[in-house]
Each structure stands twice: as C-alpha cells, then as structure tokens.
Amino acid sequence: MKLKLMSVSKDFGEKKVLKNVDFEFQQGKIYALLGRNGAGKTTLFNIIARELEQDGGVIVLQEEDGQENPLKTTDYSYMYSTPILPEFLTGYEFIKFFWDINRERIDPEKTIEDYFELIQINEADRHRLIKGYSHGMKNKIQMMMFLIARPMIILMDEPLTSLDVVVASEIKNLIRSIRADHIILFSTHMLQLAMDLCDEIAVLHNGVLRLIDHEMLKDPNFESEIVDILKEAEDD
C-alpha cells in the first residue's frame, strides 16, 4: 500500500506552511520527517490524521491494485510527543477499554498480557494509575494502542523526546520489528536519530517535502548538506 499526498497545501495567514506537497509513502518503510521546529511537521501530521483541514489537495491510501481511497479513522494511529491518556485509570484499565472498543480489529491469537509483555511493562506497573507513569511508560501505552488496533499508517510525532536511553532503545527496536506491516512516519528534528532508525529521510523546508537521495546519505558531507537545506528555510 501507499499513502499518497497530492498537492497538499496549508496556510496560516500569510505564512505558507505547506506548498502543494506531492509525496508517496510506501508500506514496509520507516520515514523520517526531518525539519526544524516550526517547519510544519506537526501540521502535516494533523492534516493526515484529519485533526486539521488542508486548504487544498488530496490525501489517499492506494491499494495494491491501484485503487485509491480517502483515509478512514481506522487507517491510522497517531502517537503524540506528549501522550494524551486518561490519568485516572490504570494502564490495564485503559488498555482493556481500548481493547473492547477495537475488538473487531484485534489479532484473535493475542491477549492483553501478550502486548504488555511485548512493550515490557511489568505486572505491578500495569495496575498503577497512569498519572504516576513516567513519560516513557506513557509512550509505551500509546504504542500498545497501535499494536492492538493494527492501522496501516502510524504517525509518530517526536516520540523519543525526553526518554531515557533504555526506553528509547526499546521503542526503536519495536518500531523496526513492525515496519513490514505498516507505513510509518516518524517526525523528528534530530538528524542522527533519523539516520539511525529510518529507511528513508524526507526534509520539510520552505513548505516543500523533499525525499533525500540514498546516494546523498553516503556522502561524508551529508550532515552539513542537510544543515544547509534547513538553514535555507530559516533564511527565507
């Protein structure tokens, strides 16, 4: 499958955040969406997730037979940089609720406990209030949601921000392990993270989304070249 953006545009007053963006994201790959703070990465994610309406253009999910369909809410999952979870529930209570309302989409061979084991939350922590969870544990709960619901598209907006080294490594390994079944978009402003985790790097600058050529990745001056591109956005 492919996620296709066709002439997607978005303005905020006189500021053109997205300028007729054309891009294709393919299943089985992790895409880093790289850009400076304020470049429009979150805006693009919000448009894909239908939390914000674009001013122009179309976004579709293309089937293997070429058929193009508008996105449904079941097609995607959004992992926010700051987790939005009901802190008055325990981790288990919330996941049980999520499990029940998504029962038709769940792998019948899996249990709730299987997913808690997968993301490495121990038995005691499962039954603590989410209010007492660390940022990393809350991010793991967000990951459980898309592992359970199995959407085609996974949007991850700065998901490794403020995580300790161990948790960040666990999440990166989990993302890599599920790539074949999904289209994964990973927003970040950290070049090294993009190079370490992702199969493709796309730079959002001056309202344009540009896929970086793999040959460029081999260039010893790659980092400085990317910095120059991002500086152009600032200068303009």
* DSSP conformational letter for 213: P
Residue 105 lies in a domain: no
Q: Does residue 98 sit within a domain?
A: no
Total count of domains within the chain = 1
Could you tell me if residue 127 is inside a domain?
Answer: no
- What is the CB neighbour count within 10 angstroms for residue 183? 24
Domain that holds residue 191: 2-83+152-235
Q: Write b or e for each residue in 203-226: b if 16 or more Cβ atoms lie within 10 A of its Cβ, otherwise e.
A: bbbbbbbeebeeeeeeeeebeeeb
Cα 31 from Cα 21, distance rounded (Å): 16
pLDDT in tens, 114-160: 999 988 899 999 999 999 999 888 988 998 998 999 999 999 988 77
Task: Give residue-wise pLDDT tens across range 191-224.
Answer: 888 888 889 999 998 889 989 877 776 677 777 7
Domain with residue 66: its CATH number is 3.40.50.300
Asked whether residue 110 is domain-assigned, the answer is: no
Residue 210 lies in a domain: yes
Q: Is residue 99 part of a domain?
A: no
